[in-house]
A and B are shown apart, each in its own frame.
Chain A
Amino acid sequence: MTTYIIRRLIQALFVLILVTLIVFFVMRLLPGDPLIIYIAQSAEVQAMPPEMLDKLRAEFGLDKPVMVQYANWMAGISQGDFGTSIFYREKVGRLMMERFPVTAHLGLLSLIIGAVLGVIAGLLAAVRRGEWLDKVITPLTYIGICIPVFFAGILMIYVFGLKLGWLPISGYTSPFDDFWLSTRQLVMPVICLAIFGLAANARQMRSSMLEVTRQDYIRTAWAKGLSERMVIIKHAMKNSLIPVITLMGLGVGIIFGGSVLVELIFAIPGVGRLMVSSIFGQDYVVVQAITFVIAVIILVVNLAVDISYGWLDPRIRYG
């Protein structure tokens, strides 16, 4: 087991290095010169002479060879220094500290809700297969996997925010400041983000439940005269969860992707919106740092899932 873990850790370290290479060099291919945009946006009524450009370039270390820049970047990251945003004129680490908690709040809620409700919905649909509950849940899951996130957002704003006036239309408040308002504001964005995972989990749960209940051991359980609840919970459900768990691992990535759209629509100051504004502003220092951190989070989640699988299932360890 220890060897397996060590092997996976070494692999992960290697992947991490590849991730840094991808992040760094892809960003360097950006066509525009971030400094020119910065200058263009600052040049109000005032002019800025070309010497300024050189000064700024030196200030941001852009005058050095690319490999040196990469080494500097890596050295910085290892000390927790992600550089300085050209646009915000602020340490990127601090920008991310402001934004990641917001996205994490939103994302974790969505992940949990998507998982719990998804599993329950799938379970109910499978147990009541063909009955009205199944006939309601299954088509809803079809909609859930194919509705574009932004469309769900717009629809909800229109219906619940504007027409019914039940929920605040947009914004984010820290739960530590005002828990009730924070929760009300999060209802729509969280549903939006959770909808895909919820539907995918429910579909997966339903189909693997149906699969499992066809197995002999379940029939045996029935034959032994166990109650329906026992059969479902003790035997069928637990086995059906395995593929669902795999899906949830993927869910982290989907949530990060979706948060870009959701934060844009609901005016939530999270990392997704910082990402978009930095991409449009060509603030590559920020884009680089965010992409890197997201990739590392996903890497760690996958590593944790992999190691747990290896621990639980010896076949994989030697696979």
Chain B
Amino acid sequence: MAEKSNNITEFQEAPPRVSEWRRFRRVFLSRGVVVFGLIILLLLLLTAVFATWLAPYDPYKLSTAKSLVQPNWEHPLGSDILGRDTLSRLIYGSRTALMVGFISVGIASVFGITLGVIAGYFGGFINMIIMRAMDALLCFPMLILALVVASVLGGGIQNVIIALSIATIPGYARVTCGVTLSIRENDYIMAGRAMGASDLRTMLGHILPNAFPPLIVLMTMQLGNLILAEAGLSFIGIGIEPPGAAWGAMVSDGYQYLLRNPVLSFAPCLAIMLVVFAFNMVGDGLRDALDPRLRGLL
């Protein structure tokens, strides 16, 4: 499977820049679901940024009198056992979701891309070591790896992020390594090397633009997976610490009151589903627009 990814990311001549953007926009926005996903993501981003203004109540403020209030005009989504407003917590939870998602993707891609470039650039033994280590990591299902890592490090948002990052590094490393390997063998790189050009710099200049399409698609889709995984970890009981509002933790807290106050767990669940859906759709759209040949591989 490792070899397969090399093939599809083979170096290709880039089409002229100007029309590319137009083509990208046309393909990207051609499907309704993608636009819908994009709108959801924009709303999510706005919610996260303006959470302080949007939230009707302080999401951390408890009120003994309002424990487990059913949805009403004052509290459209009711309140949890500590009397905290569910809607406000949901709104603040968007921050946690985005933070977990983006930081994990950031860490994983930085490590993954670096490892991939190193492996592809040096080739040979180093390539072997790095890529086999990535293969070894890929032998652990994401949730199980995250579970073990999080249990070793303990709960808390930063540890969840670390756990999820480690689990997702190999994907980035593989893609980058494949692109790097194929570029290394290109004639003009060979030529540049013969002329004594600093080939690492030359290569980076070629690797990154070529690796960009598969990487950006991978990142977008990973964002959805990470949010799902975070919810799964929280559900098992390894996750974000209070008083932080996180959707996964809200589901597992509210789940205990499912029979009486279903909205407590249904609302964050729907939020998770919407966002995961949006990331997947936007990822699809990006893939189709940037490099349709990735279909079926990412």
Contacts and interface: CB of A to CB of B under 8 A. Distances in A.
Direct A–B contact in the complex, CB atoms closer than 8 angstroms: yes
B277 A211 contact: no
Contacts of A224: none
A73 interface: no
Q: Classify chain A: how many residues form its interface, as a range.
A: 35 or more
Nearest to A272: B144
Contacts of A5: none
The residue among B138, B237, B281 with the most chain A CB atoms within 10 A of its own CB is B138
A247 B4 CA distance: 13
Contact of A142 (B33, B228, B237, B269): B33
A31 interface: yes
Nearest to B140: A295
Nearest to A211: B295
Contact of B232 (A15, A148, A298): A148
A157 to B, nearest CB: 9
B193 to A, nearest CB: 23
B230 to A, nearest CB: 10
A87 interface: no
Secondary structure of the A side of the interface? helix
A310 B7 CA distance: 13
Contacts of A124: none
B135 A15 contact: yes
Contacts of A15: 132, 135-136, 139
Interface residues of B, number: 48
B192 interface: no
Interface stretch (A19-27, A42-50, A186-194): A19-27
Contacts of A27: 148, 152
A230 B140 CA distance: 41
A207 interface: yes
A66 to B, nearest CB: 15
A257 B138 CA distance: 13
Interface centre among A148, A246, A294 (most CB of B within 10 A): A148
Contact of A257 (B3, B142, B151, B280): B142
Choose among A145, A258, A296 the residue with the greatest number of B CB atoms under 10 Å from its CB: A145
A149 B273 CA distance: 11
B261 to A, nearest CB: 13
A11 B143 contact: no
Contact of A148 (B132, B135, B228): B228
Contact of A275 (B147, B152, B295): B147
Interface of A: 11, 14-15, 18-19, 22, 26-27, 29-31, 142-143, 145-151, 154, 158, 204, 207-208, 211, 242-244, 246-247, 249, 253-254, 256-258, 260-261, 264, 275-276, 279-280, 282, 287, 291, 294-296, 298-299, 302, 305-306, 309-310, 315-316, 319
Given A279-B151, A291-B148, 13 more contacts: A18-B135, A22-B140, A30-B151, A145-B277, A147-B273, A148-B232, A151-B265, A151-B273, A258-B143, A260-B147, A264-B236, A280-B237, A291-B144
